[in-house]
Amino acid sequence: MKILSPRPASAQDTGQAGEALPNNGGSRLVVATMFDPKAPTAQAELVLNGPLNKALLAGGQDGLRTLRPEHINGSLSADGQPWGLAALESVAQIGIVAIPDLIPPHELFIPPKPPVEDCLLELDAPLAPVKVDFPDQAPSFDDEQIRVLEISLINHCERLKDRMAVFQPPPSMTNPLDLAGYRRQFDSTYAALYFPWLRVPVKHPSINLLHTVPPCGHVAGIYARVENGRGVHKPPANELVENAQDVAVEVSDVIHGFLNDERINVIRTSAARGLRVMGERTLSSDSQWRYVNVRRLLLSIERGIYTSGQWLVFEPNNNDLWREVDRVLRSFLDGLWRRGMLDGTTAEQAYTVECSAVINGTASVDEGRLIAVIGVQPPLPAEYLVVRIGRTESGLQFLEER
């Protein structure tokens, strides 16, 4: 069965009365009509094998109740098509990976009173959870399943080396020492951990509710907003979390400092400034890759060089090629520096490029390898970073020197 959204009516789609007929999207058997916007509770109509055989759509499910971890980590497939993370491996444009519905939240809360300024709730007492039945609700995963799936998420980014994972601890984990122990299971420059979970409004026919959701979806949106507004070099910290009313756990100044040292990025409330992401640490123990914006800046640089450098693969490996590579790389990095994405009062302080006979010896040339080395100074306080670019028969490769 194939159901497509109707396209805007044209002359050939109308009958004698001028009313738009439902579009079948090329199907001879099935036609679906849109919901009536004036009657949001009306069911969609399904036409089967002719205009006289009609039925109302009812009893459908999205299949979430049968969702298993294997669907997310990509070890299951349907008809040879990859699922979950495996389906994302062939999409080169992806820069951020998160699973905001990894731990479907079952707890909902009734706000004690309407939101106040800055979309915050002034809570005199802890919110009491209520049970509300939502159709086709996904199952919840236990802590071990969550840990395994988050390892799969990080491994996905480590293996492809062109994207970053955003994730969070299980919702039941709130003790700072437990959080630190959980974070210490991971050490990666391609991942960042955020705490606590958020509470967002959820629509329900008869009651106003707050839904507890993982922060990774909101944080991924902040990454994208900062990149589009300022650039990938700008830290995604001290940023407003939109469309959320509160955090599930309040964090004090002392606990915030402890969690920050443990490379856990904290989201906090402020009566004057709303919900803010107050951290930008990766999970890496390497001080060179401590900050999220540094990792994402280098990913962006490597992606740009890879995309624009495919012409190198079949060029003769000689002095003329080395000079051209040097010129192209300098032009690219100079553009980043002039846009404020690299620090340094001069171009020499912001970046370096070397592609010459000094690093392309006879052995490399005989093997068909071309090597270029670039150094960049990300926004302070980040350290100077060096990346070795290698051309082989299979394409371009990057080695980040540490």
- Regarding whether 132 and 14 lie in a shared domain, the answer is no
Domain shared by 24 and 135, yes or no? no
- The pLDDT tens digits of the residues spanning 242-275 come to 988 889 889 999 999 999 999 999 999 887 888 9
Task: For residue 387, list its beta bridge partners.
Answer: 374, 400
Mean pLDDT of the chain: 79
Is the same domain home to 265 and 124? yes
Q: Which residues, including other chains, have CB under 8 Å from residue 82's CB and lie 6 or more apart?
A: 74, 89
The residue type of 63 is G
Q: Which H or E element spans position 239?
A: strand 239-240
Closest C-alpha to 391, from 306, 302, 297, 327: 306
Comparing C-alpha atoms, which of 324, 284, 322, 331 is closest to residue 304?
Answer: 331
**Residue 4 pLDDT exceeds 50:** no
- The residue whose two tokens read 């944080």 is 219
Q: How many CB atoms lie within 10 A of CB 31?
A: 21
Pair (384, 273) in one structural domain:
no
103 and 164 share a domain? yes
- 300, part of any domain: no
218 to each of 19, 63, 80, how far by Cα in Å?
42, 25, 32
Q: Are residues 43 and 121 in the same domain?
A: no
Of 235, 260, 292, at which residue does a domain stop?
292
Q: What is the pLDDT of residue 143?
A: 83
* Of 377, 190, 157, nearest in space to 282 by CA: 190
Q: Does 301 map to a domain?
A: no
Residues 242 and 343 occupy one common structural domain: no
- Beta bridge partners of residue 395, listed in sequence order: 392
Separation CA 61–CA 64 (nearest Å): 8
> Are 264 and 128 in a shared domain?
yes
Q: Is the pLDDT of residue 19 over 50?
A: no
297 is a domain residue: no
Residue 304 inside a domain? The answer is no
Kindly state whether residue 298 falls inside one of the protein's structural domains. Answer: no
d(CA 268, CA 248): 10
Q: Is residue 234 part of a domain?
A: yes
User: CA 46 → CA 9, 20, 23, 50, 61, distances in Å?
Assistant: 19, 16, 12, 10, 16
Q: Which residue matches tokens 């998160």?
A: 98
Examine the domain organization and report whether 313 and 263 are in the same domain. no
* Model pLDDT, residue 67: 77
Q: Read off the DSSP letter of residue 168.
A: -
Q: What percent of the chain has pLDDT over 90?
A: 40
User: For 118-155, how does the pLDDT look when each residue is reduced to its tens digit (9 = 90+)?
Assistant: 443 344 445 666 665 555 566 678 888 888 899 999 99
Separation of alpha carbons 17 and 398, rounded Å: 65
Residue 10 within any structural domain of the chain: yes
Is residue 32 predicted with pLDDT exceeding 90? no
Same domain, 276 and 188: yes
**Contact at 8 Å (CB) between 48 and 55?**
yes
DSSP 20: B
Q: In the structure, what pLDDT confidence band is assigned to residue 92 with cuts at 50, 70 and 90? A: confident
Asked if residue 303 is part of any domain, the answer here is: no
Mean pLDDT of 308-331: 86
**Domain endpoint, select from 10, 38, 58:** 58
Question: Is-contact 187 104, C-beta < 8 A?
Answer: no
> Average pLDDT for residues 158-182, to the nearest whole number?
92
| DSSP state, residue 281 | B
Residues contacting residue 365 through CB under 8 Å, at least 6 positions apart: 317, 318
- 74 & 40 share domain: no
Percent of the residues in the chain that have a pLDDT greater than 70, as a whole number: 72
Q: Between the ranges 46-60, 148-162, 204-218, where is the mean pLDDT highest?
A: 148-162
Size of the chain in residues: 402
Q: Which domain holds residue 325?
A: 309-401
Is there a contact between 384 and 375 (Cβ–Cβ < 8 Å)? yes
Tokens of 296: 């994402």
Domain edge (last residue) among 58, 76, 94: 58
Separation between Cα atoms, residue 39 and residue 91, nearest integer Å: 39
Count of domains forming the chain: 3
Distance CA 373, CA 388 (A): 4
Task: Judge if 112 and 258 occupy the same domain.
Answer: yes
Tens of pLDDT, residue by residue over 343-364, are 999 999 999 999 988 888 888 7
**Taking the CB of residue 9, how many other CB atoms lie within 10 A of it?**
14
